[in-house]
Structure 1
Amino acid sequence: MDGDGCDRDRVAPGDDYEVDHLIRKTGVSRAEAIGLIHQFGNDRKTLEKEAKKLHR
C-alpha cells in the first residue's frame, strides 16, 4: 500500500475512477471491465492482461 492507504495494485469495482482507468488503458467497455473484475478479481496486472486478450 502507498502511504496514503491506497492500494494501487487493485481495481475497486465500485470505484468509477478505477474502472474508468482500466477502460482508458485497455480499450474495453465498462461492461467488459466489470465482467473482468467479477471473473478474475481485482488485481490490476491480471485485469490488464485479460483485457488485452479481448482486444487483440
Structure 2
Amino acid sequence: MPLTTDEEMYKWRHLTENFFRKIKGFKQISMRADRTDTSFTSFIYITAAVSQSR
C-alpha cells in the first residue's frame, strides 16, 4: 500500500529549511551574539533581506 504524500507541504518545508540554512551562515546569528532579543530579531530580519536580495 503506497504512502500518500503532500507535495505542496514538502515544497514549503524544503524552502523553509533552505532559508534557515542560508541565514545560519551568518556568524552573528549562529553564535547568537546579540545582547537583547530585539536586536537579535532585527538582525534576523536584516539577514533575511540580504539573503533574499542575492
* Structure with the higher helix share, 1 or 2: 2
TM-score range normalised by the length of the shorter chain: 0.3 to 0.5
Greater Rg by CA = 2
Q: TM-score when scaled to structure 1?
A: 0.34
TM-score by length of 2: 0.35
Tell which has more relative contact order, 1 or 2 (C-alpha 8 A, sep 6+).
1
